[in-house]
Structure 1
Amino acid sequence: MKTAEDLRRLLERIDHRSYPAYKDTRGAYQFGKYVLSIDHVQGDPFAAPSRLSVKVPGKAAAFPKELYDKKHKRIALQDYLTRNFWRQTEHYSYQAKGSGKSGVISISRCGQEVLERTACKVDERSGEVTVRFEVGFPANGRTINARELIKILYDYLPPCVDKALCYPSLDPEKARRVMELSVDQAYIRSHLDEMGLVAFIANGSVLPRESGVSQRPMKGGIPFVSPSSMEVTLDLPNRGRITGMGIRKGVTLIVGGGYHGKSTLLKALETGVYPHIAGDGREYVVTEDTALKIRAEDGRSIKQTDISMFISDLPNGKNTASFETEDASGSTSQAANVVEGLEAGARTFLIDEDTSATNFMVRDELMQRVIHRDMEPITPFIERVRDLYEIFGISTVIVAGSSGAYFEVADQVVQMDRYVPKEITALAKDAAKEYPKLMLPEEKPARPSFERMVRSNPGIRSKGRVKLKTLGRDGVMLNHETIDLRYVEQLVDSEQLTSLGNIVRYLEEELFDGKKTLGQAIEEMNRRLAAQGLDVLSEGGCVAGNLAIPRKQEIYACLNRYRQLRGSGR
């Protein structure tokens, strides 16, 4: 292996040459206790920065095995180290001068959720730590300024590696608390099912956020306190006894006046499918990990989806057992979202009245009298919500502020009163008795068909490559095709969307063979991700450092919104 001195001599030799000469630096170099790899060199100083990685052997990193001997511990440690490395390098970014992106040093910016990322990897066997980051190689115009890059690699980077990635330089108590929180969170999640719960919200949690653009906890936010009738107590391995509100399996209705915290509670449940960092306020808000937010999504495409349990006998004779449209209405999009969630293995649906199609959610008794069932192609969700639980085992949590129709079918009703929850199930049920009883369809729904065969798009590569571009958290571009993911609300990080774009590419090239259904292809993709992690998506042996793993439910959601998805028969 080449040494750090070999790289220094090379940089001194190419100083003041034209920018492409930087490509000679690609390779691995021994820097004392770690190996620096220059994996990809940018084409010019205005292009995306160069990709680098640092590997610290297990003996040098010296992390105790107990900090990473389980997957949830390892992901938490990787998240902690990524944040440490960002804090260290932030002081040096742009200290080296030059044109374009010269001098930038960047690594993934982690949010409030703890996600598995390619930015940092701790080897489960050896304890080796790898971080992947970007550096803008300095230039004056388009002429190499190697002296400034030497500053970055020899003066700035070594202390960052030592202070951020080596256990002897860290606060051992902080590292231990990160591990213990991950263990407690995993304990709660693993016990939800046996307790008959879909979610747990600890007393003292702070659910309101700082603002619409900040996910930090609101200063002075009202701490959550469970109604006594819904209290659940757990003995966690590290924190000990903890009490909070358990949301039981079945149908749960969240009601209350405007601005009293209904949607805030639902949002906490949506993101509760991920662990949260200490200090977030929602560290002990834990939702079973398949829970899926369902909403209307006007204009989305739908491909060969069986929505007949909700929509049938359309006036135009269109087949709803294999429904297709390039411009779905609110009701058809929400029906498709429910069925696709069923296919994706969701065990809980999370629904907010404010983002739902009214005609999909409910038809009141007066409308049923005026417009007979035979004249209405839509079977509203209220008439299927019990079937979803009793036949398919899917619980539902619904936020409602304007309609009491769901009182009759709900198992539990929670009123949010100035951010304080109160159970009012008995009161709501008594009030519902004074209204006409809901008329349910006699025929029970059959399980939808998921036999959607898929084949690859032969034009996926243009001139030997696939162009991928992530549009923040709004979507991802695959060549000239935009996959709109704005309303897939449980995507919490743009790096998850970057991963989804790469997953679509991988599926197109490796698994869409015309012999598998969409579900079979995605399940195989998920097995490969579980076995190899996001490294399976690497091209040319270079693993990008800007990927975060999405859930299986979001992989399904992305493919179902991919307009270039090709059925095997077309």
Structure 2
Amino acid sequence: MVPWSNSVCSSTFLSTRFIWPLRKIMSEKRGGYAFRRRGVSTSRRLEDSRNPRYVLPEYSRDIPGKELFESQDIRPEEGSKELRGTWDDLRKLLLRIDGQRYPAYKDLYGGWKHSSFFLAVENIQSDPFAPPSRFRVLIPREIAGFPEQTYSSKAREVALRDFITRKFWASCHGLHLDKAAPNKGWGSSKGANLNIDKPKQHILERSSCVFTEKFVEVRFTVALPARGRTIEGVRAKEILIDGLPQVVLSSCLMDSLDYDELLDHLKLAEDQEFLRNTLKSMKLVGFVADGAILPRKSGASDEPLSTSDVVTFESPASMRVSIQLPNHGTITGMGIPEGISLIVGGGFHGKSTLLQALEVGVYNHIRGDGREFVCVDPNTTKIRAEDGRAVTSVDISSFIKNLPFGKDTRSFSTEDASGSTSQAANIMESIEAGATTLLVDEDTCATNFMIRDRRMQALVSKDKEPITPFISRIRDMYERHGISTILVIGGSGDYFDVCDTVILMDSYRPYDVTKRAKEITVELPSMAVERENKGSDMFMLPCQRAPIPASLEGARRGGRGRIRATGLYSIEFGSEEIELDAVEQLVDPSQTRAVADILDMMLDTGLINGKRIIGELLDAVEEMINQKGLDCIAPGRTIVGNYARPRRLELAAALNRLRGLQVTQKRVNSKTTT
């Protein structure tokens, strides 16, 4: 036995067991984790010359031939910057490292030249259990061969990238390359699957495929195969050397694709975008095409119901409008006018189904979805009650005043909002972020926020009730500020007094019953509307707020120091979890990933500086993405292939739900829209 007094042994023991772990812990507290994750310290700033390593990445990193891997845009710690060799050289390397320990996979770093494309190895996973390795292929545009008319507009370009991504995934699936080896224990085979961020029913702007000046670039992942921690080089060769070229050549070259199918995809997206942007000039906030299929297959599937007895949509004659599209000619359907529209009817007759279709009408859809021409105002948002959410300095005084103990509702904050205060905050935050049309379903609302009937008014006088119900503000919101509302309601006819349009759903078919609803208001007076329509009793736009960066920085440094999406409706933000279950217009986890990294980027680059109000932050982010693409939000200049672009409204919703957020109220904008 070696005595503990041995100086060498003692030094080694202390260094191994105590000193190095202590240094690791201390580095985490000094921002070491952020440095390793982002390639920069947590104090990086957009224009900080003291930190030149952080530069907002260009939309592309495409440089032909050998120069591709000599660009300064490639991070030094990601391996060799040189073109490593040919496709045959890569094959030999994979066979050479067969049977070696897993870290030998890092020899793949760099670039490899196929006869038709370049393969760039961006990140190698640390072990078989880590997230898969990141790759990208770059096909010269002259080889890809896509004609200019396939990307002649922004809508077409986004749809083209979406189409290539879908075909890439379909090719992987058809060749069974997307199936990982079953994990049967430590020593069993693992990984061996090639995947790309799979699109769903919606056509979203993604980072999985980008078009640059010289290249078509496709980003994907490979779980590099191993048995235990021993490299299976032969299986890796089958994926990268044999399988990948088949996938690329069948999905990324115009000559390999069905041109008519591609053109139909592009024209469909372009027409949906045109329709959505045409609504305002027609004084509409929504449109549902005749023949649309609104019901979904199930609560867990966004695919259309395909049974033989499905009821297709048919517009009421009095609400039918015709719209001339650039590619599909004239289509007809139900136009929902600006103002206040009610969707009424008995239970299970399709009220909520129609509203749910309108919710996702802010996105373009693929052929066969059934909702291809269901479109709404681009700035439409869904509103609901959200018990328990955090609220930070939101002016909800238009709805709630005179709380017990003199709590100020002009700057209302709480860590545990009630149904009514959360719904009021959701409305005001959405308007602050730019919403111009609200979608509301009574099933997910706070009853006391929506209405106070005549009997309750008689029992509880107005001076004892702090809530001014939504029914008393909805008219002001439209007439003074141009904010329209589409409301599903089946339990109260009091809203007939304040609405412009009433749509009755009967056995999934819509009927215009506006005239009859107005007759009922005369026959059966309600007296539920409590509004004076003058002075301070009118609906006022919310105060603008500027987030304080120190409050976000404090949350980010807590916990494990991570900012990442953990699901469609959840973001880990340091020590806090941002819960987005009530943000129903998030439709893809890749949007949530983008939201998480945008929050991180806004803090790192100094966009959040305590002076910019939320609207200005959202404008700045949209401008950055418009100019540079989604790459500009990636941490540490990495290349991320699984982003989908979120709307500004969902980004604002995530920021507003961060517990611990602090803001400064800047000013009140009471501008009236006529």
- The alignment's TM-score, normalised by the length of structure 2, stands at 0.82
Contact 1:92 1:156 in 2 (8 A): no
Aligned match of 2:235: 148
Aligned match of 1:14: 97
Aligned counterpart in structure 2 of residue 68 of structure 1, from 120, 127, 151: 151
Aligned match of 2:672: none
2:248 corresponds to 1:133? no
TM-aligned CA deviation for residue 529 of structure 1: 1.8
Aligned counterpart in structure 2 of residue 199 of structure 1, from 267, 275, 286: 286
Alignment of 1:537-552 (within 5 A): 537-552=633-648
Contact 1:198 1:348 in 2 (8 A): yes
2:540 corresponds to 1:446? yes
CA distance in 1, matches of 2:654, 2:325: 36
Aligned match of 1:88: 171
TM-aligned CA deviation for residue 497 of structure 1: 0.8
Aligned counterpart in structure 2 of residue 112 of structure 1, from 190, 193, 201: 201
Contact 2:289 2:332 in 1 (8 A): yes
Letter matched to residue 532 of structure 2: P
TM-aligned CA deviation for residue 129 of structure 1: 1.6
Between 1:145-154 and 1:344-353, the stretch displaced more is: 145-154
Name the Cα RMSD after superposition. Answer: 1.8
Between 1:379-388 and 1:476-485, the stretch displaced more is: 476-485
Contact 1:455 1:568 in 2 (8 A): no
Letter matched to residue 508 of structure 1: L
CA distance in 2, matches of 1:72, 1:554: 21
Aligned match of 1:530: 626
TM-aligned CA deviation for residue 466 of structure 1: 4.5
1:121 is paired with a residue whose SS is strand
1:515 is paired with a residue whose SS is coil
Aligned match of 1:431: 520
TM-aligned CA deviation for residue 472 of structure 1: 2.2
Letter matched to residue 441 of structure 1: E
Between 1:222-231 and 1:434-443, the stretch displaced more is: 434-443
Contact 2:401 2:409 in 1 (8 A): yes
Aligned match of 1:173: 260
Aligned counterpart in structure 1 of residue 333 of structure 2, from 244, 256, 259: 244
Aligned match of 1:482: 577
Contact 1:256 1:417 in 2 (8 A): yes
Contact 1:311 1:378 in 2 (8 A): yes
Contact 2:180 2:190 in 1 (8 A): no
Alignment of 1:332-343 (within 5 A): 332-343=421-432
TM-aligned CA deviation for residue 240 of structure 1: 1.1
CA distance in 2, matches of 1:539, 1:302: 28
2:239 is paired with a residue whose SS is helix
Between 1:266-275 and 1:366-375, the stretch displaced more is: 366-375
Between 1:245-254 and 1:137-146, the stretch displaced more is: 137-146
1:502 is paired with a residue whose SS is helix
CA distance in 1, matches of 2:295, 2:481: 33
CA distance in 2, matches of 1:508, 1:368: 47
Aligned match of 2:435: 346
1:118 is paired with a residue whose SS is coil
Change in 2 beyond 3 A, CA 1:136/1:233: same
2:308 corresponds to 1:308? no
What number of residue pairs does the alignment pair up?
A: 567
Contact 1:359 1:380 in 2 (8 A): yes
1:373-422 alpha-carbon deviations (Å, 9 max, x no partner): 11111011100001111111110000001111101100000000000000
Alignment of 1:279-290 (within 5 A): 279-290=368-379
1:514 is paired with a residue whose SS is coil
CA distance in 2, matches of 1:37, 1:331: 53
2:296 corresponds to 1:215? no
2:161 is paired with a residue whose SS is helix
1:272 is paired with a residue whose SS is helix
- 5+ residue gaps, structure 1: none
Change in 2 beyond 3 A, CA 1:111/1:129: same
2:203 is paired with a residue whose SS is coil
Change in 2 beyond 3 A, CA 1:486/1:96: closer
Change in 2 beyond 3 A, CA 1:541/1:261: same
CA distance in 1, matches of 2:179, 2:464: 70
Between 1:71-80 and 1:432-441, the stretch displaced more is: 432-441
Contact 2:568 2:586 in 1 (8 A): yes
Aligned match of 2:663: 567
Contact 1:89 1:105 in 2 (8 A): yes
Alignment of 1:183-198 (within 5 A): 183-198=270-285
Aligned match of 1:497: 592
Aligned match of 1:230: 319
CA distance in 2, matches of 1:464, 1:36: 37
- 5+ residue gaps, structure 2: 1-82, 183-187, 666-674
Aligned match of 1:44: 127
Aligned match of 1:407: 496
1:105-135 alpha-carbon deviations (Å, 9 max, x no partner): 1111211111111111123x44x32111110
CA distance in 2, matches of 1:235, 1:395: 24
Between 1:480-489 and 1:100-109, the stretch displaced more is: 100-109
Between 1:420-429 and 1:17-26, the stretch displaced more is: 17-26
TM-aligned CA deviation for residue 17 of structure 1: 1.5
Contact 2:177 2:243 in 1 (8 A): no
TM-aligned CA deviation for residue 212 of structure 1: 0.6
Change in 2 beyond 3 A, CA 1:461/1:399: closer
Contact 2:304 2:369 in 1 (8 A): yes
- The alignment's TM-score, normalised by the length of structure 1, stands at 0.96
For the pair shown, which has the larger CA radius of gyration, 1 or 2?
2
Between 1:241-250 and 1:442-451, the stretch displaced more is: 442-451
1:498-534 alpha-carbon deviations (Å, 9 max, x no partner): 1111111112222222232333323222221222121
Change in 2 beyond 3 A, CA 1:333/1:460: closer
2:511 corresponds to 1:419? no
1:316-339 alpha-carbon deviations (Å, 9 max, x no partner): 211111110000000000000000
TM-aligned CA deviation for residue 543 of structure 1: 1.5
